[in-house]
Structure 1
């Protein structure tokens, strides 16, 4: 397939960061300098384009990922701005699935913080090229060199600065372009124009020379022809260095570092240049595997407008008119408005009403989409996060998406009995939108329970019920969503007999269950010869047991870290159907797990605190009182840096308590670290 000029000029990127690194502020400047908006919005004023929800504007945080499209240097850049708060990590995860590269924003003061490290690792999972952007260099205590050193120490890989800051803290005014050996200064407060001068300021020449030498040496190591010239003392040109750098970024071998101050409107235009220069087009992007559901064939998708339709939905959300909006990326084929497309999960056709180009909460109707486009679709009634739409005659499906199970729950009820049905309907819509949000009915009390990724997550849900759905509710105290597992290996053989009309059904299943390493989730294996047991039945057993994990063993919590071997599947052809296979598999699994000495696991959180020295003693004492463990106490930016672990159930209300202990002068981050066994009597 010949390369399409239009596809070559597409960049699908995300912007990810730790809380308060300046991610949304950077996105807002990108929109302004590309001409998408004509007035810069500010997070503190609640006027940004990508943070359009009321809750986002009030709290000054990103809650849901927002897509927008801009143009820069004759390239189309589709941007997804993602949340930085850990409670909304699923928004990052499902966005990364459809991106070809990410800008990771780091605070020039805080450097590599817990959530920035986590999102970096998430990008590792998808093998995404990255550009690091060290922001807030105008702040007191900012240090470009310190942040680069932290990146090398904590993130690994070849971290390669392409710029060096001119000026420090309030005196920050521009950057030195290390490749072009020139100085860029932003003297206009709006940042719309900047000056470019050849050479380097005299006071920076020694340090810049050191950085340039490291840059040239690293790139020469990556290319035999360049290395030969470099060893022969030939000066390497910026164009050939840039070409090698692009190849290394696409291969994930080098991570370029740029810098600036987005709030002060400095450094954003070169960042956009780098997106165009170093990030891949859809044709060069990380490989996307797909499976043909009719033939079983696996292949790597090619972004061909004339190829089979492959449309992946990475998010669904109800808009302000309560219409279901599907956010999707087109990987192959051409999508035209009004088309009927095939849902590969449901096995049915669905028809779109409108095809849209997105810009935050604004939508622009379009007639068609081509490979690489990220679009909004209204009218798909069967759409859910993770579904692939294709063609019935040639159905291709991308790998299914798995989401982290919720870890916090609370009881909920309407303030008015008359609102019960409205509450149920509203919760159903929110579950469709958010794969990390679940509901269930408590078996003993009959109460409705909502489950999410943290206190803030559920707080936002409750707020949306009131504002968006006009349902006033009462909620209980947050509770931990534990996990169940097993502590020993057990094998069980079990036969199920059923009567279906005049037909007798029978199936014998033998399973071995065993404890898996923490974090391994669900492991399934089957060594039965394919000629004896159809692959379809083996897959049905595997999927049935995955469904059974949700209901738990004896306490109703999800089962994790368990391995299952299918040892036998015995039946007569005249006495079997899918239903009996599923029933037999689940009953056998239930018996096995009950015999395997079930254990209860609780979530343990990693706590990272920055606190003035005079409050350190009270903070440490409080952690110990919460049954936490202090892992390390160090010094960072003249503050005490405390790293600890403590049970999630001991963290509820921590924000208020820490504020009281330190008079509001401490900051902290909580991330899920791991699960560990807990005594049942200590879970209250």
Structure 2
């Protein structure tokens, strides 16, 4: 059966979870429509989601639609939980972007639409809340065309606005002007259509226009706009018809090679790991032993599998999303979404079975790490989490590690010396959710220190260093030479080698490359180093040595451990010679304010270190864009209502990094500090004495 993986996306409170409930009810898979306010919706299943009335975790629910299985994925709308949207994008066949007819296009709406268009995900737009006072679909459509994309066409009319009697009727081919609007829109992407229409209008019948509308929507060239009310159900039938007609369903090959992508991880009642996988090809059955390829990202907390590596595991149970729930099944086929148990080492972004295409790219929020393409801005904030009860420190680490499995953009930094854990964040609401989740699900009460800004470091020049085994105080049986130099902004960390491939066993070369990535998490000032090229210039080792009775002698033979322990010393020596600059994250803001308040607002922006651009006039309002340090965005949000009498509208998103001015911020190190050779060697020796040197 064909399937359609459909994402429901919106700015917070635009009504997407209510729309999800209405779609499920219309499809006949639920008897009663849940309420966000009452906490009774199907997709907001977490206790915290029900209490707060917001979506925090992406949820999957399935329903049949005219012979197509629709896997509907409800995503969070609050920008603090953009990571949940991030991981879903790679499995979508299409999307419905929900816009409120009252509030219009909101900041997160713009971020989402830009991303959907960039990724060429076919997208319908649903103008919701026609039943609310202040609803204005005409104004909203103009707003969509001006601020999201001009390639839109209205598919439904609306009347009796502002109450439960609000209606939305689909336009038919005989509606005056509708066919002409379709021609105007579609001919912008099809010269032949325009030529045929100019030559003879009858050569372009309405049926051809509908077929071309579906084709161009499927290529993400145009975006049909529907309207209605998720609460009353007005216009939802037309939207359902549009989903079936205009968004492309897929039919994967169940007999092809197995390949699927993990886009969500959760824990079951017994703490077992459950992986949500979209199967792109083949069929996966219970008890199958499968290969799991790392999609990149951070090394797992236990260090079991390095980025780019692979593992194997046995699938012990499968659930497939059908008819509003997930049902136990013996297999999951191409095009479907399944929940898999038994893959204990699996992580978000991993590929099950064969890798189809390239899974490389920069990891979201982790400069220098490699994984799938980053769709949204990285988190720019960080805070230290501490357990209120000292006895809960171990439980806190375990809990945060599991949360990071479910949300790879929660970066963890554990400082063994200070017995502290820091987490990266998008905003203060995310902090509240983490705190409540730790208390509710793990029984760990925590406090947070002041939120700080995450900076990065970039090499200022070129530096090189090398150490030769058994010479000049090198206690490791390894020769390593490295050169580090600047690379293009946004390129992350690239590792190359000038040594011959056969000059070093592959496992030793891998050890150096992985350790380079790990070491660059903390540069000269403690921040992650990115946008650089690291080249291995020297290599040497002692071949495996054995005694007369063929007993391996570690004291005479090089091991991977020798290279892992020497590489940080060489790399940081090279980095010290190159020098680094520290950069702070900057947000690009867009302000819409009453014209008479510009003079009041500009001095306040200057005090926040914002750099405004030239304002543009829009009627009786000013549109003001500019750049502001990420650290000051929250202050601007707090002050804006007072500065603009509640009439200011702010959009803000990460845009770039810029060099820090003034004192360089330092970040406390959490490693053995290879910048101080004696301290580092003593720490390594203590560790080896306690654990024994690994190979």
TM-score using structure 1 length: 0.80
Deviations 1:524-576 (A, max 9, x none): 566888799999987776554333332x212322223x231637455479598
Deviations 1:85-135 (A, max 9, x none): 222111111100111111122233444333222222322443322222222
Deviations 1:130-175 (A, max 9, x none): 2222223445554444444444444447333333444555598444
After TM superposition, the structure 1 = structure 2 runs for residues 211-250 of structure 1, keeping only pairs within 5 Å, are 211-220=178-187, 222=190, 224=192, 227-228=195-196, 231-234=199-202, 236-250=204-218
Distance in 1 between residues matched to 2:197 and 2:639, nearest whole Å: 62
Deviations 1:471-507 (A, max 9, x none): 11222121222222223x21414234269xxx99443
Q: Of 612, 616, 628, which aligns to 1:646?
A: 628
Counterpart residue number, 1:101: 94
Q: Of 392, 401, 416, which aligns to 1:428?
A: 401
Q: Would you say the 8 A contact 1:157–1:253 is kept in 2?
A: no
Q: Are residues 64 and 270 of structure 1, via their aligned partners in 2, closer, same or farther at CA, if it must alter by over 3 Å?
A: same
Q: Of 423, 445, 457, which aligns to 1:484?
A: 457
SS at match of 2:77: coil
Q: Of 463, 478, 488, which aligns to 1:516?
A: 488
Counterpart residue number, 1:256: 224
After TM superposition, the structure 1 = structure 2 runs for residues 82-93 of structure 1, keeping only pairs within 5 Å, are 82-93=75-86
Counterpart residue number, 2:585: 603
Asked if 1:324 corresponds to 2:258, the answer is: no
Counterpart residue number, 1:563: 532
**What displacement does 1:273 show?**
1.5
Q: Of 408, 412, 417, which aligns to 1:439?
A: 412
**What displacement does 1:327 show?**
0.9
Distance in 2 between residues matched to 1:512 and 1:410, nearest whole Å: 30
Distance in 2 between residues matched to 1:602 and 1:38, nearest whole Å: 52
SS at match of 1:39: coil
Q: Are residues 448 and 226 of structure 1, via their aligned partners in 2, closer, same or farther at CA, if it must alter by over 3 Å?
A: closer
Asked if 1:507 corresponds to 2:479, the answer is: yes
Counterpart residue number, 1:547: 518
Q: Of 663, 678, 685, which aligns to 1:681?
A: 663
Of 412-421 and 213-222, the range deviating more from structure 2: 213-222
Asked if 1:309 corresponds to 2:258, the answer is: yes
Counterpart residue number, 1:290: none
Asked if 1:370 corresponds to 2:370, the answer is: no
Q: Would you say the 8 A contact 1:175–1:259 is kept in 2?
A: yes
Q: Are residues 655 and 218 of structure 1, via their aligned partners in 2, closer, same or farther at CA, if it must alter by over 3 Å?
A: closer
Of 399-408 and 162-171, the range deviating more from structure 2: 162-171
Q: Would you say the 8 A contact 2:464–2:577 is kept in 1?
A: no
Counterpart residue number, 2:26: 33
Q: Would you say the 8 A contact 1:355–1:378 is kept in 2?
A: yes
Counterpart residue number, 1:416: 389
Unaligned runs of 5+ in 2: 295-304, 367-378, 544-556, 667-695
Unaligned runs of 5+ in 1: 1-5, 182-198, 284-302
Q: Of 285, 310, 331, which aligns to 1:336?
A: 285
Q: Would you say the 8 A contact 1:344–1:397 is kept in 2?
A: no
**What displacement does 1:328 show?**
0.8
Of 429-438 and 648-657, the range deviating more from structure 2: 648-657
Q: Are residues 568 and 156 of structure 1, via their aligned partners in 2, closer, same or farther at CA, if it must alter by over 3 Å?
A: farther
**What displacement does 1:457 show?**
1.4
Of 589-598 and 467-476, the range deviating more from structure 2: 589-598
Distance in 2 between residues matched to 1:662 and 1:271, nearest whole Å: 38
SS at match of 2:55: coil
Q: Would you say the 8 A contact 2:124–2:225 is kept in 1?
A: yes
Q: Are residues 52 and 545 of structure 1, via their aligned partners in 2, closer, same or farther at CA, if it must alter by over 3 Å?
A: same
Q: Are residues 661 and 176 of structure 1, via their aligned partners in 2, closer, same or farther at CA, if it must alter by over 3 Å?
A: same
**What displacement does 1:332 show?**
1.5
Q: Are residues 397 and 569 of structure 1, via their aligned partners in 2, closer, same or farther at CA, if it must alter by over 3 Å?
A: farther
Deviations 1:406-442 (A, max 9, x none): 4222222222222222222212221222111132234
**What displacement does 1:30 show?**
1.0
